[in-house]
């Protein structure tokens, strides 16, 4: 088995100014959500470390060969990173499980997706084309892209290796230097990725990892004058705060934010498919997923039957030890996060909701030390209830019947969020019409929560700004430049 960069008893070093060294900030710990045990200790970055790392990153960007290498040369290094991730897939998946408590089956998939992300952006990098634009004079014109310089990736705790790879790979492909600020609760995968980048031949200083508190370190990174772009994934309130700072710097940002996605089951849906899809959509990752299908609308004529079957299957989901390959739901990230879910459920019940299943912590020795919470379904509320409007980010489904098409479309779109939606129907014409009418960055039809790195992803309204993934994901980290090449054999006539 390959050892990992984060296997260490002492405090872990960060990646600052091209070196592995301890931060000069506070001590911090990564805790295993299933038991509360310490997985790793860290010395976080200080504000001085942030400044030093970003200046060094800028220096590395300007002086190392990375940005000037030919795209196929950068691509070769990115392919190598994908290969290194695959070689260490199992230890990385185990480390990710410890860092954020997701079931091992899921962390294995996240690691595989991170490798796929590097592979995809390697190929996108070496096949990216620039445009020759139609000439309108005695010149020819072209449009090219240049790397922005130092860019920042600020990430949440729910799928660290995947969300960090999704920013790091295209930014490196673009030729940028990248500063990663992982979530306080889950710093380990960013350190692993930085170590693999180093091993694969990314020059020192091009990848920094500045773990630390978001309100201090994340803020200092965002405000730093040498940071040219922030790619942020996290909560909407934090995203808006970063966007305000960015406005003052005239700095582009991309924002992957929260969601309150609607899943819609029409009267002609195949219920076996719909039930499994709805369960996966809300309860996988214990609902700690931006795209969780947390609002369920079911045609009134099928509502009773659907809910009986859904609730029976949800109650039988295997909640437990993340090491167990059969586990479907692991613990929540922190005790505090579980309390916030409990508060949401209490509000739902106080507003007149009724519990169909769950609404409490599981009991038994296995669950005593972990942040576990049962799959929960609440009925009897409408789309205006607090828990129909606010993102809960946990295993809580609000289920509602709908009466007709207009009612469904109006309710599905009545949310500040517009990240994703799911449609279950046997009629492709209805799926098409609803798929176009629903306002969301991603719509799944007769499936849910499937992902392809080749397909752009992002949200509308409070769910975000910009798109990640897809071939053009690289260009987020580049500025566009137009070149005019004069072809006139005579001097410009105006000056004569
Ligand atoms: P969060 O509190 O907004 O934190 C996200 C990241 O921002 C963390 O690294 C955090 O650091 C940092 N941060 C906090 N305050 C900051 C500030 N003032 N300046 C700069 N950075 C700051 O979100 P979370 O609770 O970790 O994640 C859950 C949220 O992420 C949910 O709303 C979920 O929907 C969203 N999410 C969206 C997507 C998507 O693709 N749309 C994907 C995954 C998650 P600390 O950890 O140190 O606070």
Per-residue pLDDT, averaged over 418-440, amounts to: 98
Decide: 227 in ligand 1 pocket, CB within 6 A: no
What is the per-residue pLDDT for 25? Answer: 97
pLDDT digits (tens, 9 = 90+) for 245-273: 999 999 999 999 999 999 999 999 999 99
- CATH number of the domain residue 86 falls in: 3.40.605.10
Domain check: are 95 and 48 in the same one? yes
What is the chain's Cα-based Rg?
24
- Measured from the Cα of 419, ligand 1's closest atom is 41
Could you tell me which of 417, 406, 163, 429 has the C-alpha nearest to residue 297?
406
Query: Which residue is catalytic, options 52, 184, 256, 379?
Result: 256
pLDDT digits (tens, 9 = 90+) for 350-365: 999 999 999 999 999 9
Decide: 461 in ligand 1 pocket, CB within 6 A: no
What is the per-residue pLDDT for 9? Answer: 80
Assessment of whether the complete model's pTM goes beyond 0.95: yes
Domain check: are 82 and 172 in the same one? yes
Domain check: are 295 and 340 in the same one? yes
Residue 99 tokens, joined = 């860092």
What is the per-residue pLDDT for 3? Answer: 72
With beta carbons less than 8 A apart as the criterion, state whether 169 and 78 touch.
yes
Q: 197 an active-site residue?
A: no
Residue 2 lies in a domain: no
Residue 492 lies in a domain: no
**Can you tell me the distance from the alpha carbon of 280 to that of 247, in angstroms, rounded to the nearest whole number?**
38
Given a cut of 70, whether residue 113 has pLDDT beyond it is yes
Residue 199 tokens, joined = 């091993």
With beta carbons less than 8 A apart as the criterion, state whether 28 and 41 touch.
yes
- The secondary structure of 144-202 as a DSSP string is EEEE-SEEEEE--SSSHHHHHHHHHHHHHHHT-EEEEE--TT--HHHHHHHHHHHHHTP
Domain check: are 145 and 270 in the same one? no
For the chain, the average pLDDT equals 97
What are the CA-CA distances from residue 174 to residues 68, 107, 171 (Å)?
10, 27, 5
Domain check: are 249 and 275 in the same one? no
Domain check: are 103 and 153 in the same one? yes
Residue 4 lies in a domain: no
Question: Ligand 1 atom 20: the closest Cα is on which residue?
Answer: 218
pLDDT digits (tens, 9 = 90+) for 452-462: 999 999 999 99
- CATH number of the domain residue 301 falls in: 3.40.309.10
64: domain range?
14-257+463-482
Apex CA 464: angle with CA 458 and CA 468, to 5°? 35
Helix pair angle (71-87, 188-200), 10° resolution? 130
pLDDT digits (tens, 9 = 90+) for 387-421: 999 999 999 999 999 999 999 999 999 999 999 99
Q: 368 an active-site residue?
A: no
Residue 382 lies in a domain: yes
Residue 486: other Cβ atoms inside 10 A:
10
Given a cut of 90, whether residue 5 has pLDDT beyond it is no
**Can you tell me the distance from the alpha carbon of 35 to that of 397, in angstroms, rounded to the nearest whole number?**
26
Residue 457 lies in a domain: no
Hey, CA dihedral for 208, 214, 218, 220, is it positive or negative?
A: negative
Question: Which of 184, 214, 216, 334 has the most ligand 1 atoms within 8 A of CB, as the residue to mutate?
Answer: 214
Domain check: are 267 and 197 in the same one? no
Q: Identify the band that residue 2 occupies on the pLDDT scale cut at 50, 70 and 90.
A: low
pLDDT digits (tens, 9 = 90+) for 28-70: 999 999 999 999 999 999 999 999 999 999 999 999 999 999 9
Q: Domain total for the chain?
A: 2
Helix (H) or strand (E) holding 87: helix 71-87
Domain check: are 349 and 234 in the same one? no
Residue 152 lies in a domain: yes
Residue 57 lies in a domain: yes
Domain check: are 307 and 237 in the same one? no
3-state secondary structure of 417: strand
User: Distance between the two ends of the chain, CA-based, in angstroms?
Assistant: 76
What are the CA-CA distances from residue 105 to residues 109, 213, 322, 325 (Å)?
7, 29, 8, 6
Given a cut of 60, whether residue 1 has pLDDT beyond it is no
Per-residue pLDDT, averaged over 174-202, amounts to: 98
Question: If you measure from the C-alpha of residue 321 to the centroid of ligand 1, how many angstroms do you get, rounded to a whole number?
Answer: 26
Residue 496 lies in a domain: no
Domain check: are 413 and 369 in the same one? yes
Domain check: are 270 and 416 in the same one? yes
Per-residue pLDDT, averaged over 147-164, amounts to: 98
Domain check: are 182 and 40 in the same one? yes
């Amino acid at each position: 088995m390959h050892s990992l960069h984060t296997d260490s008893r002492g405090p872990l070093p960060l990646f600052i100014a091209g070196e592995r060294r301890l931060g000069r900030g506070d001590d911090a710990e990564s805790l295993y959500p299933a038991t509360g045990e310490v997985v790793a200790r860290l010395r976080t970055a200080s504000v001085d470390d942030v400044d030093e790392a970003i200046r060094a990153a800028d220096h590395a960007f300007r002086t190392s060969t990375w940005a000037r290498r030919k795209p196929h040369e950068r691509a070769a290094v990115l392919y190598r990173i994908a290969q290194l991730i695959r070689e260490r897939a199992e230890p990385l998946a185990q480390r990710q499980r410890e860092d954020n408590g997701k079931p091992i089956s899921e962390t294995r998939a996240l690691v595989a997706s991170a490798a796929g992300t590097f592979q995809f952006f390697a190929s996108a990098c070496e096949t990216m084309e620039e445009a020759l634009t139609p000439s309108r004079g005695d010149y020819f014109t072209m449009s090219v892209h240049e790397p922005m310089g130092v860019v920042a990736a600020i990430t949440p705790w729910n799928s660290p290796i995947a969300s960090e790879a999704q920013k790091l790979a295209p930014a490196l492909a673009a030729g940028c230097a990248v500063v990663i600020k992982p979530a306080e609760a889950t710093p380990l995968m960013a350190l692993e990725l930085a170590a693999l980048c180093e091993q694969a031949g990314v020059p020192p200083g091009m990848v920094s990892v500045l773990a630390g508190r978001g309100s201090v370190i994340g803020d200092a990174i965002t405000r730093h004058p040498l940071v040219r772009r922030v790619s942020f994934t996290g909560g909407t309130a934090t995203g808006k705060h970063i966007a305000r700072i960015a406005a003052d710097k005239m700095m582009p940002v991309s924002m992957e934010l929260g969601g309150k996605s609607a899943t819609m089951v029409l009267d002609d849906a195949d219920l076996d498919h719909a039930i499994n899809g709805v369960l996966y959509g809300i309860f996988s990752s214990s609902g700690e997923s931006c795209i969780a299908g947390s609002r369920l609308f079911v045609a009134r004529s099928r509502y009773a039957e659907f809910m009986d079957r859904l609730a029976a299957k949800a109650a039988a989901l295997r909640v437990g030890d993340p090491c167990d390959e059969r586990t479907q739901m692991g613990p929540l990230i922190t005790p505090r996060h579980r309390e916030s879910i409990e508060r949401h459920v209490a509000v739902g019940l106080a507003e007149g909701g009724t519990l169909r299943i769950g609404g409490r912590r599981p009991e038994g020795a296995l669950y005593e030390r972990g942040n576990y919470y049962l799959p929960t379904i609440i009925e009897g509320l409408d789309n205006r209830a607090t828990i129909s409007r606010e993102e809960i980010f946990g295993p809580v489904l609000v289920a509602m019947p709908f009466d007709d098409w207009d009612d469904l479309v109006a309710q599905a779109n009545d949310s500040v969020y517009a990240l994703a939606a799911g449609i279950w129907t046997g009629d492709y014409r209805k799926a098409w019409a609803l798929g176009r009418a629903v306002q969301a960055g991603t719509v799944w039809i007769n499936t849910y929560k499937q992902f392809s790195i080749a397909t752009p992803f992002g949200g509308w309204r409070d769910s975000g700004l910009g798109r990640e993934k897809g071939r053009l994901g690289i260009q987020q980290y580049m500025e566009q430049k137009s070149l005019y090449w004069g072809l006139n054999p005579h001097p410009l006539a105006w000056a004569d």
